[in-house]
Amino acid sequence: MASDFKELEELVMEDMRRVYSEQVIDHFQNPRNLGEIPDSDGFSTITGPCGDTLEISLRVRGDRIINANFWTDGCGPSIASGSMTTELAKGKSIAEARSITQNDIMNSLGGLPEENEHCALLAANTLHEAIKDYIALKKEPWKKGYRRR
């Protein structure tokens, strides 16, 4: 029974390797920075046209992102994209993080199948909105009290 399960697991992995890069599989199976930063300095949630939602929360100190987390209810590539996006954002200045693109995320993941490229776009857009939220709160910190999360 256990060996049947092992064989099935290996078949599933073989199928995944045919479609996804090692980096995508790694970030999908072992997502980095999963969860939400409580009382974050910048937060965004976007539901893409596919119906999947991705959230990013940021901890910023001195205009540098010292922590970035994500959550998604989406597909494997959206988990990998959220994971990689937060890894790319961490340690970057706000200006540097703003220029992280869909292509940067896809390249860091070793590419995505064409039908999953929008997953990286969702992650890039969510990061950019979280940065906008940070900038808006920096200008008007009192608005944080009206934020639901």
Stretch that binds ligand FES, among 55-63, 92-100, 101-109, 114-122 (CB under 6 A): 114-122
d(CA 37, CA 109): 24
**52 part of the interface to ligand FES, by CB under 6 A:** yes
Min dist. Cβ of residue 45 to ligand FES (A): 13
Catalytic annotation on 75?
A: no
Question: Which of 77, 80, 89, 131 is close enough to bind ligand FES by CB under 6 A?
Answer: 77
Q: Is 31 in the site for ligand FES (CB under 6 A)?
A: no
For 140, phi then psi, to 5°, come to: -130, 75
Count residues binding ligand FES (CB under 6 A): 10
Closest CA to 106 of 94, 92, 124: 124
Q: Where are the alpha helices (DSSP H) in 20-93?
A: 22-29, 76-89
First to last CA, the chain: 46
Contacts of 38 (CB under 8 A, 6+ apart): none
Under the criterion CB under 6 A, does residue 50 sit at the interface with ligand FES? yes
Q: How many residues does the chain have?
A: 149
75 binds ligand FES (CB under 6 A): yes
Per the annotation, the verdict on 50 as an active-site residue is yes
Contact between 127 and ligand FES by CB under 6 A: the answer reads no
Q: How far apart are CA 80 and CA 100, in angstroms?
A: 16
Binding residues vs ligand FES (CB under 6 A): 48, 50, 52, 74-75, 77-78, 116, 119, 122
**Which residues does the annotation mark as catalytic?**
50, 119
